[in-house]
């Protein structure tokens, strides 16, 4: 089955397409792409998602899944929205 690992960074993204056996997990996909737990920490990865929904390394993948490597938020979305709304127009 085909899956993709994606890491979004400001103004760009990185993508790693993979072919894995049926029944593979998120952890196996990360290992297959060369991501060790240490490498994830070094890149500042804060979590994992499948198509925008948080997931765990034990989650079983399906053909066409997109694994997203999540970075921590730089700003609280609610606070950022309030600041934008408070700006004079």
pLDDT tens-digit profile of 67-83?
Answer: 999 988 777 778 888 88
H helix or E strand, kind and range, residue 32: helix 26-32
- Whole-number mean pLDDT of the chain? 90
Alpha carbon distances (Å) from 25 to 34, 40, 45, 67, 82: 14, 17, 18, 10, 39
pLDDT tens-digit profile of 32-47?
Answer: 999 988 888 888 888 9
Sole residue written with tokens 């890149």: 43
| Domains along the chain with CATH numbers | 2-86 (3.10.20.30)
Question: What pLDDT is recorded for position 16?
Answer: 95
Of 82 and 89, more confident: 82
69 CB-contact burial (10 Å; exposed 0-12 / middle 13-18 / buried 19+):
buried
């Amino acid at each position: 089955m085909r899956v993709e690992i994606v890491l979004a960074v400001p103004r760009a993204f990185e993508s790693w397409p993979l072919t894995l056996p049926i029944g593979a997990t998120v952890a196996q996909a990360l290992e297959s792409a060369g991501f060790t737990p240490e490498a994830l920490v070094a890149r500042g990865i804060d979590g994992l998602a499948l198509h925008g929904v948080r997931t765990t390394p034990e989650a079983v993948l399906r053909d066409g899944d997109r694994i997203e490597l999540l970075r921590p938020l730089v700003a609280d979305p609610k606070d950022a929205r309030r600041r934008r709304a408070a700006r004079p127009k």
